[in-house]
Structure 1
């Protein structure tokens, strides 16, 4: 095993009965590197993550982990009974191995120290994701595993969350293994992308993957998801030079545009 790698996977296959979910996958997770798994629903992303966590036994292949590897895990979502009174502080205390100082430091790392006394039931989607991330950090992980960390967070919040994950990688010098559907949002915060559809379709830096024929076949033309038809109202018109002129009789005109802003 390469000393620079925290996890090495060789020829991994996982089957449930006659259904092969993961087929002949080889990859490595390196300290200080963010690896993002992308792929359509049912492609085997969560199965691969469970195998990395040691929750599933491979049908074939080998997973090697460094001997004392500490893993912090953030689930895609967590269902907490709304009738159960629970503050963020009490929720973090369920990680019994952590001290009060550890809990405060973890919340500071995710920029959510102001949430300590709040009820988890009153948190927004983005706030809850930060609290879940803080709990994963309580293990002082060498490998941080994040299953759809931006689930339930709006676009602006997702961008901030991915920046936060990159800063945590820098602070803890840990490896990050992340599942995401949004390559165009995580590109700036990802070192390696693995496009999965039961097998590895393509892998590499985000810019490489986004133009790979296998990626385009699965997800369409790069950037197409950013183009949307919308209607808007103008209270002005343009001359041939693009200068703004008032509409005659103060009428408004409706236009439909594809992508971009006016």
Structure 2
């Protein structure tokens, strides 16, 4: 299939210098694909995202995007002024107003129905991340880009959010590009995991990357087993509640969904 985004020989320098942040990166993501990018702090993960979105100048190489590509973006951080009151519903209509039905559907899709009149500053961390995801879904994107979306969540919240991402892909058909520095949980549903440290060290399925020598050279000999493979089985009714459980070598999740559980734990 024709890629939604394709980067060829992409290199980025630190502002005002010739020091490389990324060197000769080739990257693509296809329709409906889930790609997870992992790497330590300073490895160039966020720079790669900004370059793909067209928000960062390139030292060399190029980025091609499918004509008419719609992208939904969940940033790594979003600062809110607690002195300025803003409801969830108002936030979803910035900068372009959407109808009540569209806003309601987006919140239902991300597992937080009925919170339109809640103040943003009074949401839990997990609820706020789901509102950000709902906002990214408003205009039916072909590609969802999530830059470390689980930052600040506890482990049950991380598992629940990854489970939600899988559900969103199934419901919408959108491709998902997820960036993370958290090696405790990587989605089992990822079609590819890319290990980045200024360049692509290795890539492949989660299973392949977890045993790749380049991965262990980057994260240490103790990294075996830390790339937990999260399994989400769709043999349940959405909206039910379960308790995420920590199994040997990583997380396991019972058959019920954790959409509601995460809201109270985050």
Q: What is the TM-score of this pair, normalised by structure 2? A: 0.81
Q: Match of 1:223?
A: 225
Q: Match of 1:166?
A: 166
Within-5 A mapping of 1:1-262? 3-16=1-14, 17-220=17-220, 221-224=223-226
TM superposition shift of 1:131: 0.5
| Deviations 1:66-87, CA, capped at 9 Å, x for gaps | 0100000001121110111111
Question: Which structure has the larger Rg over C-alpha atoms?
Answer: 1
As a proportion of its length, which structure holds more strand? Answer: 1
TM superposition shift of 1:216: 1.0
| Partner Cα separation in structure 1 for residue 226 and residue 8 of structure 2 | 34
| Partner Cα separation in structure 2 for residue 20 and residue 84 of structure 1 | 40
Asked whether the 8 Å contact 1:95–1:135 carries over to 2, the reply is no
TM superposition shift of 1:149: 1.0
> What root-mean-square deviation, in Å, do the aligned CA atoms of Structure 1 and Structure 2 show?
1.9
| Partner Cα separation in structure 2 for residue 224 and residue 196 of structure 1 | 17
Unaligned residue ranges in structure 2 (runs of 5+): 229-248, 251-266
| Partner Cα separation in structure 2 for residue 224 and residue 132 of structure 1 | 28
| Deviations 1:50-94, CA, capped at 9 Å, x for gaps | 011111121111111001000000011211101111111111111
Asked whether the 8 Å contact 2:185–2:227 carries over to 1, the reply is no
TM superposition shift of 1:225: 8.1
Asked whether the 8 Å contact 1:8–1:64 carries over to 2, the reply is yes
Q: Match of 1:244?
A: none
Asked whether the 8 Å contact 2:186–2:227 carries over to 1, the reply is no
TM superposition shift of 1:106: 0.7
Aligned length: 227
Q: Match of 2:232?
A: none
Change (3 A) 1:57 1:224: closer
Change (3 A) 1:165 1:224: closer
| Partner Cα separation in structure 1 for residue 174 and residue 153 of structure 2 | 24
TM superposition shift of 1:224: 4.8
| Partner Cα separation in structure 2 for residue 173 and residue 111 of structure 1 | 17
| Partner Cα separation in structure 2 for residue 38 and residue 100 of structure 1 | 37
| Partner Cα separation in structure 1 for residue 200 and residue 110 of structure 2 | 32
Runs of 4+ in 1 over 3 A off after TM superposition: none
Unaligned residue ranges in structure 1 (runs of 5+): 227-258
TM superposition shift of 1:184: 4.1
| Partner Cα separation in structure 2 for residue 225 and residue 191 of structure 1 | 15
